[in-house]
Structure 1
Amino acid sequence: MVLVNWGLRALFVLLVIAVTYLSVAPNPVGVKSGNILTVWLSEHILGDAGYSDKVAHFTAYFALAGVFVLARFSTGMRAFAGVVALGAYGGVLEIVQGGIVSRSMEGLDALANAAGALSGYPAAMALMAGWRILVGQRTGETSN
């Protein structure tokens, strides 16, 4: 289990680096926001491919928060505070984008970042609870 935690912690660091780079690197001219997955999700869930950028922001911070919680950097309210800090970090990166020539600061992007982070927390907690139940059933343990 310790090896898994360290692997998740390494993944978290890589995700932070990737999200930070993708947030502040200059946008190449003519490149559209989002990717094939976020365009598909945007079309099928929100009914409009134009929201793919917001879906990408939400997904990135959902993954960041989920991996943060699963890596067990901290637990309980400290873990939740860490997730809130990730959402705030997304807001700070949006402000930084306002100073980059080929980027723009968007409040809805910051909101999507925060919503993704806050949604990643309960999803990761539910995943961990399910894992505990599964492992308990395999070993014959019961939870009280």
Structure 2
Amino acid sequence: MDSKAINGLPSDKRIKIVFVLGGPGSGKGTQCAKIVEHFGFTHYSAGDLLRAECKSGSKYGELEKRLLSRNQGREDDNVETIKKRFKVFIESTLPVVTYYEQRGKVRKVNAAKPPEEIFKDIKAIFSSFQQV
């Protein structure tokens, strides 16, 4: 193995990690599927990973039961649950965005447009990654 390799990858090969963040229902899953298809990224959804872990029967399935017993499970989405999820997004995610935005690491996309127009903006951002 080349002494300049890191974790089996050539040291000149930079790994790009991208976090796609947005409020509940903002289209993250839709756009991530397009990013995977168009740019070849691998997609890891925290929610999907947690749901798979719960289905596996692991001890972390206590977490799912607890959330469901509090009427905050995705299957029970209602106005109150959506408000709570949005509050958690504001309190937990926005400080992280602010932190990285201050370091010039955030690219924002207006998610209020049709999905095809949103992906045009995303393609422009991801295309600039490939040129670096």
TM-score, normalising length: structure 2: 0.31
Structure with a larger share of its residues in helix: 1
Q: Greater relative contact order: 1 or 2 (C-alpha under 8 angstroms, separation 6 or more)?
A: 1
